[in-house]
Amino acid sequence: MMLGGDEREGSLPRFERTSSGGGYELYSSNNDDDNTNTNNNTNGGGRMPFRDVGSNVFDQDYSDDEDVDKLNANADVQVDLGDVNDDAFDWKTFWKFVGPGFLMCIAYVDPGNFESDLQAGLQFNYKLLWVLVWATIAGLHIQSLCVRLALSTGWHLARCYREEYDKKVVRALWVVSELGIIASDVPEVIGTALALKLIFGFPTVVGVFLTSLSTFVFLGLQHFGVRKLEAFMGSLVAIMSLCYLGELVYCDDVHVGEVIAGASIPRIPSTTALFIAVSLLGAVVMPHNLFLHSALVLTRGYQLGEKSLKKAFKYNVVESGMALTVTLFINFAVVIVAATEMQKITDPAERAEMIDKPLQNAPKMLNKLLGSAAKGLFAVALLASGQSSTITGTYAGQYVMDGFLKLRVHPGLRAFLTRACAIVPSLTVVLIAGDEDAETLIVVSSAILSIQLPFALIPLVKFCSSSRIVGEAFVLKGRALKATNVLSGVIVCANVSLLLMTLFTSRYVNASFGGIVLGMTAVLFIVGYCYCIYWLLDQPVRQNLKSRIDQRLGLESSNFYNDNDNNNNMNNNIEEEEEDDDEGDQVAMLRTQPSS
């Protein structure tokens, strides 16, 4: 892609392999005919070594020495955006974008969400439906930030972390992110084990062991390509939708007026309702999902240029909105079924049992109230939810490991390791405490995810609100920036509140000596945690991706800056410095010289 005056909107970049074999060179906006040194070496005038991992984020064998045609055209799905000046919505083009949103939306319908939905319906009927509506709207906006970052930089969120922070901070954030991914896998293990128990009668212990087989399912899926995987995941979402549509068909006493009122009138009847409302919000906005979605966007390849990328942004956001609308229906259905049918339970002991362990007891109650078909539908939906969440969680972990550490692990091994870490606590609880306390792990995992969320959300918002990172064309400004800051503040505060409520309502924090020590430890942890959040908020953005953004947007740019060193002065000599530490994570710097 010729930059500057010769740049054509929608053209693909032009690369050449360096003679040293160390990478590729991207022609700059300088006139190549005027450069005195145009041979293919790393000191060629007016060229910038292109050291990116490429768009094919599913390919585990990519490197800087990929075929040049793959550097921009190696995405799994090539999309022809047509006339970038035509703002008309084209359904044929849109179909090429369908897929990433349906992988991303799995986090909105995992077993942890079902747990919160059942609690909301059982205890407060339809009164908390509005939380789901606003949480989904907030989720769509947050996911659009992931799209914004990926399209403007060509990097996913974890990669931006690596370029922004020093090694110690990056490794600390990586550990926190990995703990969050493992925590998100615990509800999948428990949910899948309970589903297998309902369908086949397996003991929960056996079901926990059998969940490891999903690793082999993942190994089989990855060989068929991303479109097949997206279709498979979409089919699981469709199965969940059909199951809960069937549940609604069995419900014969739904109060439509109350449903509409519950979805449109914000109200918090009690402190317990506040706890459940915060749980609903925390279960919807998942930290690992931000890493996942920003990487999934890069599976599409299209023309570079400001208008092209803005058009791609529109299609991505519409596709994400469509997927999240489906998940909103599923969550609504769970709440409505719980509120409509299970409220018919009059025995206080049965009601207390339902509220205490909703995932385990809901099928039994559904069978009693609506028949065995309803019980089977719930079990199938729970199984589909657990398995789909397993696959997307594995991908998220893959991107996190690659982005933070530049460490690429075979996806099957990655799935096995994550699942092994999640199985250990699940199996321990089931063996020691039995099925009764297995569901408690879902509450614990929600608290861990609440801890991790600010460390994913705050940098994302800071990146998208900095023109140094996403460029002037994609930077958040004015009302959009203010709304994003308010929304992010509400989400972070809600999750911190959930953490506090989980800690201080725990039966382990009590008047005993051990309980007092645990409470004091929790207070110290919260103080340190709040300081870490403040540190993230206070840190200025260090990167300057101006030249990279200008290349992608097709803007005139004759100066190229080192992404990680903004203090270098431009001069009139041809000089290229490449800082390549043992991690190999520094981006090459090239300073151009005017023609003699």
The residue with greater pLDDT, 334 or 443, is 334
**Rounded distance, CA 596 to CA 584, Å?**
34
pLDDT tens track for 427-462: 776 676 566 667 777 777 777 777 788 888 999 999
| Mean pLDDT of the region 12-30 | 36
Answer yes or no: is pLDDT of 318 > 50: yes
**pLDDT band per the 50, 70, 90 thresholds, residue 467:** confident
User: Which among 378, 332, 373, 308 is positioned nearest to 152, based on CA atoms?
Assistant: 308
Is residue 74 very low, low, confident or very high in pLDDT (cuts 50, 70, 90)?
low
Q: How far apart are CA 384 and CA 389, in angstroms?
A: 8
CA distance 255 to 261: 10
Q: Is the pLDDT reported for residue 464 higher than 90?
A: yes
Question: Residue 426 phi/psi, 5° resolution?
Answer: -65, -45
For residue 223, pLDDT over 50 is answered with: yes
Q: What residues have CB less than 8 Å from 34, skipping those under 6 apart?
A: 595
pLDDT of residue 459: 92
Beta bridge partners of 300: 77
The C-alpha angle 362, 431, 190, rounded to 5 degrees, equals 40
Higher pLDDT, 284 or 120: 120
Which is nearest to 186 in space by CA: 208, 202, 166, 204?
A: 208
Counted domains in the chain: 1
- Residue 196's pLDDT is what? 85
Q: Is residue 306 part of a domain?
A: yes
Cα 58 from Cα 591, distance rounded (Å): 33
pLDDT of 317 above 90: yes
Task: Inform me whether the pLDDT recorded for 580 exceeds 70.
Answer: no
Tokens of 41: 């070496």
Q: Is the pLDDT of residue 20 over 50?
A: no
Q: Highest mean pLDDT range out of 250-254, 259-263, 576-580?
A: 259-263
Residues 6+ apart with CB under 8 A from 146: 157, 290, 293, 294, 297, 460
pLDDT at 436: 64
Which of residues 390 and 432 earns the better pLDDT score? 390
Task: Give pTM, 2 decimals.
Answer: 0.75
Q: What pLDDT score does 219 carry?
A: 59
Lowest-pLDDT choice from 8-22, 235-249, 378-392: 8-22
Q: What's the rounded Cα separation, in Å, for the pair 466 and 452?
A: 23
| pLDDT at residue 36 tops 80 | no
pLDDT band of residue 28 (cuts 50, 70, 90) is very low
**What does the block give as tokens for 104?**
């991303």
Rounded distance between C-alpha atoms, residue 2 and residue 24, angstroms: 15
| Tokens coding 161 | 């972390």
Q: What is the pLDDT of residues 38-49, one digit of tens each?
A: 333 333 333 222
Does 397 reside within a domain?
yes
pLDDT category at 545 given cuts 50, 70, 90 is: confident
Q: What confidence score (pLDDT) does residue 60 get?
A: 36
Which residue type occupies 255?
Answer: H
What is the distance of C-alpha 52 from the center of its chain?
Answer: 21
Question: What's the pLDDT at 495?
Answer: 72
Which pLDDT belongs to residue 250?
76
Whether residue 37 has pLDDT greater than 60: no
In a domain, 253, yes or no: yes
SS3 47: strand
Q: Provide the residue type at 58 as one letter.
A: F
Residue 499 belongs to some domain of the structure: no
Residue 44, pLDDT score: 32
The most confident of the ranges 34-43, 390-399, 461-470 is: 461-470
pLDDT of amino acid 369: 64
111 found inside a domain: yes
Q: For tokens 């293990």, what's the residue?
A: 189
What would the mean pLDDT of 34-40 be, rounded to a whole number? 36
For residue 363, the model assigns a pLDDT of 75
Buried/exposed code over 489-504 (b: 16+ C-beta within 10 A; e: otherwise): eebbebbbbbbebbbe
Largest CA distance in the chain: 91
Give 315's pLDDT tier (boundaries 50, 70, 90). very high
Residue 173 belongs to domain with CATH number: 1.20.1740.10
* DSSP-derived 3-state class of residue 145: helix
CA–CA separation, 516 and 521 (whole Å) = 9
Asked if the structure places residue 316 within a domain, the reply is: yes
CA nearest neighbour of 462 among 410, 537, 402: 537
Please compute Rg for the chain using Cα positions. Answer: 25
Query: What pLDDT, on the 0 to 100 scale, is given for residue 447?
Result: 72
Higher pLDDT, 147 or 69: 147
pLDDT at 386 over 70: yes
3 state SS for 52-120: CCCCCCCCCCCCCCCCCCHHHHCCCEECCCCCCCCCCCCHHHHHHHCCHHHHHHHHHHCHHHHHHHHHH
> What is residue 26's predicted lDDT score, i.e. its pLDDT?
36
108: containing domain: 96-437
Report how far residue 276's alpha carbon sits from residue 370's, in angstroms, rounded to the nearest whole number. Answer: 26
Give the mean model confidence (pLDDT) for residues 84-92.
79
Report, as an integer, the average pLDDT of 218-244.
77
Q: Residue 42 gets which letter from DSSP? A: T
* Lowest-confidence segment of 158-167, 283-292, 323-332, 523-532 by average pLDDT: 283-292
- Give the tens place of pLDDT for each residue, 265-279: 998 888 788 888 887
What 8-state DSSP symbol labels residue 20? T
High-pLDDT (> 70) share of the chain, %: 73
Residue indicated by tokens 């926990």: 208
Task: Tell me the average pLDDT across 546-553.
Answer: 71
Q: What is the pLDDT of residue 222?
A: 65
Closest C-alpha among 389, 434, 388, 390 to residue 212: 390
Mean pLDDT, range 209-238, rounded to an integer = 74
204 within 8 A of 430, measured Cβ to Cβ = yes
The phi, psi pair for 344, rounded to 5°, reads -75, -10
Model confidence at 411, pLDDT cuts 50, 70, 90, reads low
Q: Which residues contact 2 (CB under 8 A, 6 or more apart)?
A: 8, 11, 14, 27, 29
In angstroms, the CA 350 to CA 340 distance is 16
Q: How many CB atoms lie within 10 A of CB 9?
A: 15
Quick one: pLDDT band at residue 415, thresholds 50, 70, 90? Answer: low
- pLDDT confidence bin for 199, thresholds 50/70/90: confident
Residue 395 lies in a domain: yes
* DSSP H or E run through 303: none
Residue 2 pLDDT > 70, yes or no?
Answer: no
- Please state the rounded mean pLDDT for residues 298-310: 82
Select the more confidently predicted residue: 573 or 188. Answer: 188
Q: Residue with structure tokens 């060509």?
A: 154
User: Is 237 inside a domain boundary?
Assistant: yes
How far is it, in rounded angstroms, from Cα 96 to Cα 94? 5
Q: 221-225, 304-308, 462-466, 503-507 — which one is most confidently predicted on average? A: 462-466
